[in-house]
Amino acid sequence: MYSIAITGNFGLMHLIYSEESLHRPMYIFLALLSFTDVLMCTSTLPNTLCILWFNLKEIGFNACLSQMFFVHTFTGMESGVLMLMALDRYVAICYPLRYATILTNSVIAKAGLLTFLRGVLLVIPFTFLTKRLPYCRGNVIPHTYCDHMSVAKISCGNVKINAIYGLMVALLIGGFDILCITVSYTMILRAVISLSSADARQKAFSTCTAHICAIVITYVPAFFTFFTHRFGGHTIPPHAHIIMANLYLLMPPTMNPIVYGVKTKQIRECVLRFLFRGKDISSHAI
C-alpha cells in the first residue's frame, strides 16, 4: 500500500505538472492533496516498516516528539485541503462564469499556505504539552508511531490538559472543515437540483464524485480512530485501535490517486495519452 501511495501520488503530481490542460484550480488542489498524502504516510510508514521487518522498536524522545508534530500537522493539512477542494467545487458549480477570476493562482497559494500554517500553529503546543509531562511508568508506547495521546498516556502525570487541548484541536480543524464541506455540498446540491436538464445535473454532480469518495476514505477511519481512542475504553481491543490508526494514515494516500484516476475523465485521458503515445486513444478512453 505504501508503494502504491508513493508511486500513485508522485505520478499524479507529475501528470498535473506536465499536462497544461490540468493547470486549473481543481487539479492544483489535487496536486496539493497528493503532496500532503506523500508527507503524511512517509511521516510514519518507514518507521513502522522498520519495526515490523527489522524489530527496530527504539526511538529517541525528541525524534518521537518530531514525528508526533509532523503526523498531526499533515493530517490537519489533509483535512484542510479536502475542505478547500469542496469550496472549489462550490465555486465551479454555483459561480461557473467567475470561477477563473475567483480562484486565481495567488488565491490558491494563499489558501494552501494558510491551511499549512493553521496545522502548524495548532499542533506545536502538542509537543510542549507532552514534553512537560513526567515519565516514570516506563517507555513503551503501545503503537507503531508517536501519536499525541499514546505518548501522553505512558506518563505518570496529569494528562487532562493534553486530552482537552487535543479535543479542542480536533474540533477547530476537523469540525470546522466538515462544517465547510457540509455547507458547500448543501449549496452545490441546491444548485444542481435547480438545473433544468437532467444531463446538466448529472454532469455537474459527476465532477464531485471523486472528491466525495476522498472525503469518505479520509474521515471514516479518522472518526473511528478519534472516538474509540477517547471513548472506546476497554471495549475495543488495542490491536483494532492500532490497525485503524495505521489505515487512517495509509488508506487516503493509497486510494486517492486511484479514485481520481478512475473517476476524473481528464486525468484518465491524460494517463491514456501518456501510455499510448503516438496512438489514437479514442478507442481506449471510456
Distance from chain centroid for Cα 27: 15
Helix (H, G, I), strand (E, B) or coil at 19: coil
To the nearest whole number, what is the mean pLDDT of the chain? 89
> In this structure, how many other beta carbons lie within 10 angstroms of the beta carbon of residue 30?
27
Return the higher-pLDDT residue of 150 and 8: 8
Phi, psi of 277 (to 5 degrees): -60, 135
Give the chain's end-to-end CA distance (angstroms, integer): 26
- The total of other beta-carbon atoms located within 10 Å of residue 164's CB is 11
Q: Is the pLDDT of residue 282 over 60?
A: no
111 and 57 Cβ atoms separated by less than 8 Å: no
Q: How far apart are CA 88 and CA 40, in angstroms?
A: 23
- Report the 10 Å Cβ neighbour count for 107: 12
Amino acid of residue 231: F
* Residue pLDDT, tens place only, 177-204: 999 999 999 999 998 888 878 888 888 8
How does pLDDT run across 10-50, given as a tens digit for each residue?
999 999 999 988 999 999 999 999 999 999 999 999 999 99
Sequence letter at residue 94: C
CA dihedral 156, 161, 165, 167 (to 10 degrees): 70
- All 3 cell numbers of residue 103? 480562484
- 3 pLDDT higher than 80: yes
Condensed to tens digits (0 to 9), the pLDDT of residues 234-281 reads 677 878 888 888 888 999 999 999 999 888 888 988 888 877 775 555
- Asked whether the predicted pLDDT for residue 283 surpasses 60, the reply is no
Other CB atoms within 10 A of residue 124 CB? 13
Q: Is residue 77 over pLDDT 90?
A: yes
Identify which of 163, 172, 146 has the alpha carbon closest to the alpha carbon of residue 229.
Answer: 163
